[in-house]
Structure 1
């Protein structure tokens, strides 16, 4: 039996469906995939080239495709799969997920998981309050909740400061794009920095410490946060029995230009079984598997067929139908090889700005200069 090694991220959404699907694949095709986990922070920051030397299959984020293109540590999937196989998955892509892994005329991964920042609520605590559709309504809800000793929360750790900044600058008309002269325009940059400061001052005080998982763990265990306007969605928390209380997910305020997340499955250039690994990846991302064992075992499919499926939505409290518009119009980050290191620095700089109440104009100047340097070093 051929045994493939894979590396994914440490959460039921990122691990459980892979293990369950791989067991089924071994039974059907005689190829076994052994999955190992890395932390959520390492998922975004760990060296792609280092992981590729030790594994056949990698679960990656789309911003790392530029590193793959520059280092050739992954195999372009055009070299392993047919045009028809790739075309079918492109047609079944959940939002821009498939194309987010297409860089420099090569397909570096297939979308196995789709995600974007979105809103979440505790429906049992919302009462008569309506779900905000705009940022103005978010702060109106925040003020109304204060009269009931209830709060709004957000994931504002360094990584999620970065993601919120990118979503808001895109929504306010200055998307961070590859080849930009500036990271953002001065007007929009200052506007967003001030808005993030207003969020810090009005939302739950622990928000600065939380990633989405920590935010949702708090929301489902405690009874003080009613609503969150922006954090990467996890269907797990909208499923029966996953936590003490169940969340409901919604489109983000203003809906469009919210940052795309998710994960892709890629084949290492170091693999001795690259063809077998690619065939497994296609099978895993197919509609029948994504809408079967994958979604049933805590997965969040990258295949749109599952997002529109009645059974998948019944399983997840309509997570997919409630957020599909945000996914459809999601914003895709830059993917040049200097971006992963820059986005890590950017998140830390934004978190420091909020934590230490730094001068926004000084911070924005630093962001602009660091962006230019990151690009100039990786033309």
Structure 2
């Protein structure tokens, strides 16, 4: 049967975000030969910043980042998954989520996306240069002073590092107005970050995780990236000149690898689609345990379903990256998701970069961050900033 329904999907351009969805189209057509799905892609930077409501006007299926959820709800541009997916399916996916991945797309009583991909800030290192992962932030700084550390600090990742370390010392940033960060703890984290910032190459400020991992894989000297989002491809043999291993984050606090800023992606359905039930059927199928553990993982995907993370055959090609970062992912911290947060993430990252670069004092920078965070909850204050 020739396809007579064509859906359009938008994802992001890394192989992990694009390849498994393209592969899934071919497999899904065996179930629904009347359906074709055309996937477009955008860069990581565009993925982190492009308003979802702009994309929903032109696409049926969207791969999204959970911090956009508050704005999504405000703009009424997605269909709640509960309207097109059965409750028992949603309950099953919730029970099999890696950490808070499923929860991250639940907002104001509705589920707005299904987790496709789980990620948090983890540790990346060269196993040919380090026998074991680094355990403490002090050891990270020592390696950096010897020129062996790369650290992605391009906004918003500089802010994500702050979030992670605040969570790691047991003082996670707040998600409500007036409760951004406890001052003494924030200074402790800033001092720890400053020590590392002063020891790494200044070009780190221009790097996102992909750029940092490329540098780590290619470098004749680098050995470690202490906080970078998991990109399982770098653990595959042959993906880059040298294989990278992933492990739980090095700790600044005393309670283990908790507090990492959650990332990952989810699949959502546009409110403008003419085929909502069909989009829901594809979404639950590609997010389900069987596909995630087989086709999705085998096609460069980084699954978000626990069945895949628990599977030895999924772990083996990536050097057990899922096993070795599981604690970090299960104990990850969920960012704010209110309407207005994305503006804060963009501007707050720039403020934070200025602090580390010495363009603002820690006290004045933290004060500016707190004011900008509080204003993100108030549209009148946001318009004035």
TM range (shorter): over 0.9
Q: Which residue of 2 aligns with 1:3?
A: 6
Residue of structure 1 in register with 2:240 after alignment: 243
The equivalences for 1:236-315 within 5 A come to: 236-254=233-251, 255-315=257-317
Structure-2-length-normalised TM-score: 0.93
Question: Does residue 374 in structure 1 map to residue 376 in structure 2?
Answer: yes
Q: Corresponding residue for 2:83?
A: 79
The aligned counterpart of 1:231 is: 228
Q: What is the alpha-carbon distance in structure 1 between the residues aligned to residue 40 and residue 50 of structure 2?
A: 14
1:175, 1:218 → 2: CA distance? 30
Q: Hey, which bits of structure 1, 4+ residues long, moved more than 4 A? A: none
Cα distance between partner residues in 2 of 1:28 and 1:78? 23
Provide TM-score, normalisation by structure 1.
0.95
Tell me the CA shift for residue 29 of structure 1: 1.3
**In 1: Cα distance, 2:380 partner to 2:114 partner:** 25
* Structure 1: stretches of 5+ with no match in the other structure: none
Counterpart Cα distance in 1 of 2:221 and 2:299: 30
Match of 1:188 in 2: 185
Alignment of structure 1 residues 188-207 onto 2, 5 Å: 188-207=185-204
- The answer to whether the Cα contact below 8 Å between 1:132 and 1:141 also exists between their aligned partners in 2 is no
Is the Cα–Cα contact under 8 Å of residues 200 and 208 in structure 1 kept in the other structure? no
Contact 1:258–1:331 (CA under 8 A) maintained in structure 2: yes
Q: Per-residue CA shift, 1:203-258, capped at 9, x if unaligned?
A: 23321111100001111111221011101010000001111110000000231011
Equivalent residue, structure 1, for 2:158: 161
Q: 2:218 matched to which residue of 1?
A: 221
Q: Who is 2:122 aligned against?
A: 118
Q: SS where residue 165 of structure 2 aligns?
A: helix
Query: Aligned residues, how many?
Result: 372
Q: Tell me the CA shift for residue 352 of structure 1.
A: 2.6
C-alpha distance in structure 1 between counterparts of 2:181 and 2:266, whole Å: 28
Residue 22, structure 1, aligned to residue 25, structure 2: yes
Distance 2:359 2:314 in 1: 43
Q: Using the alignment, how far apart are the partners of 2:291 and 2:328 within structure 1? A: 24
Change in Cα spacing, 1:20 to 1:378, as seen in structure 2 (3 Å) is farther
Cα displacement (A) at 1:180: 4.4
State which drifts further: 268-277 or 133-142. Answer: 133-142
Structure 2: 5+ residue runs without aligned partners? 252-256
Relative distance call for 1:378 and 1:121 in structure 2 (3 A) is farther
- 2:350 is aligned to 348
Deviation per CA, 1:7-56: give whole Å up to 9, x if none.
01111011011101112112321221111011111111101111111100
Confirm or deny: 8 A CA contact 1:52 1:270 kept in the other structure.
Answer: yes
Q: CA RMSD in A?
A: 1.5
* Secondary structure at the counterpart of residue 125 of structure 1: coil
1:106 matched residue in structure 2: 110
| Structure 2 residue 16 is matched with structure 1 residue 13 | yes
Task: Say if 2:52 is the partner of 1:55.
Answer: no
Taking a change above 3 Å as real, the CA distance of residues 222 and 137 of structure 1, as seen in their structure-2 partners, is closer
Deviations 1:299-341 (A, max 9, x none): 1001011111111111111110010010011000011111111
Q: 1:139 aligns with which of 116, 138, 141?
A: 141
Alpha-carbon separation, structure 1, partners of 2:17 and 2:328: 21
Superposed displacement of residue 378, structure 1: 8.5
Decide whether aligned partners of structure 1 residues 378 and 75 sit closer, same or farther in structure 2, where only a CA change above 3 A counts.
Answer: farther
- Check the 8 A contact 1:338/1:378 in 2, yes or no: no
1: distance between equivalents of 2:153 and 2:220?
A: 20
Moved more, 201-210 or 53-62: 201-210
Kindly tell me: are residues 378 and 173 of structure 1, through their superposed partners in 2, closer, same or farther at Cα, counting changes over 3 Å? farther
Higher helix proportion? 1
